[in-house]
Structures are given as structure tokens and as C-alpha cells.
Amino acid sequence: MRVYVLNGPNLGRLGTRQVDVYGVTSYADLVNLCVDTGRELGLDVVVRQTDAEHELLGWLHEAADEEAAVVLNPAAWSHYSIAVRDACAMLRGPLVEVHISNIHAREEFRHHSVVSAVATGVICGLGVDGYRLALHHLAARRDAGA
């Protein structure tokens, strides 16, 4: 099972950006966590990060064409990008939206995600462990034939 783990703007700065909110795990460590977890679960995990919205849209289209599963942290695009939401709506595989911080406990403008309505599920506030949990969920869906 192919799983794209896609990350939006500023997530490449993990480990140095607002460590009180996002923790000290570096982006490289997050990539390793996802790839290693995927390997343990028999998933073909591809991890990508971009600060360019058009690039994320292209990756979502690629996942849709392949009927691949997606773990997506749309970051700031969660709150306003109808283009990202519409690309997610085209996915034919499951979509798990992940946020490292609890967006509901932060600034008011972060409380709503336009992506959540088209996601299979949402994980937020569990730090980078949310990615691991999302991959376990997708493996369980695969194993159940869902």
C-alpha cells in the first residue's frame, strides 16, 4: 500500500520553529519516523514537504490518480485553502489529516480546517506521534480490506 505523507508550509523548520508549540523533533527525524513506521507496517511511505501550494496540489493529484492513501498536514493551508480542500476531495484513497499541535486550543483562526470535511479522520495535538498513529490506522484499514 502506497501512502503519501505530505506536509505544508513551514513544517520543514520543525525542531527550530516555535519548539514550545511544535516540539524539538526535526523534520529529518519526522521523515525517519514515518518511513520506519511504514516499513514496520508493510507500507510504501513517501514523505514530502513544500512551502509552495501548487506543488502540494500536484502531489495530491498524483495520489488521487494512484488511489493512494494520504497523511496530510496542510499546516496554515488548513484554514483557508479551498484549492487544497478541493484537491483532497478528489482523493480516492483514505485521507488522514494530521496537526502536531491542538489547533482547537490555539488562536481562533486556527480552530477551523477546510480540509477536515473531506478527510477520513483527523488527528491533532499529539505531536509527531500523530503521524505514527495515522500510519497505523491506514495499515489497519488495509488489513481489514477497507
Contact 22, 100 (CB under 8 A): yes
Report the C-alpha gap between 110 and 72 in whole angstroms. Answer: 16
Region 104-130: what's the mean pLDDT? 90
Query: For the domain that residue 102 is a member of, what is the CATH number?
Result: 3.40.50.9100
pLDDT at 20: 73
pLDDT of 19: 67
Q: Is the dihedral of CA 32, 37, 40, 46 positive or negative?
A: negative
pLDDT at 105 over 90: no
pTM for the full predicted model: 0.93
Could you give the percent of the chain with pLDDT greater than 70? 97
Q: What is the pLDDT of residues 9-45, one digit of tens each?
A: 999 998 887 767 666 789 999 999 999 999 999 999 9
If phi > 0 it is left, if psi is from -120 to 50 it is alpha, else beta; for residue 15 that is left
Strands (E), the chain: 2-7, 44-49, 69-73, 95-99, 121-124
Question: 89: which 3 cell numbers?
Answer: 476531495
Count of structural domains, the chain: 1
Tell me the residue range of the domain where 110 lies: 2-143
What are the residue numbers of the active site? 22, 99
For residues 96-114, give the mean pLDDT. 86
Annotated binding site for substrate: 73, 79, 86, 100-101, 110
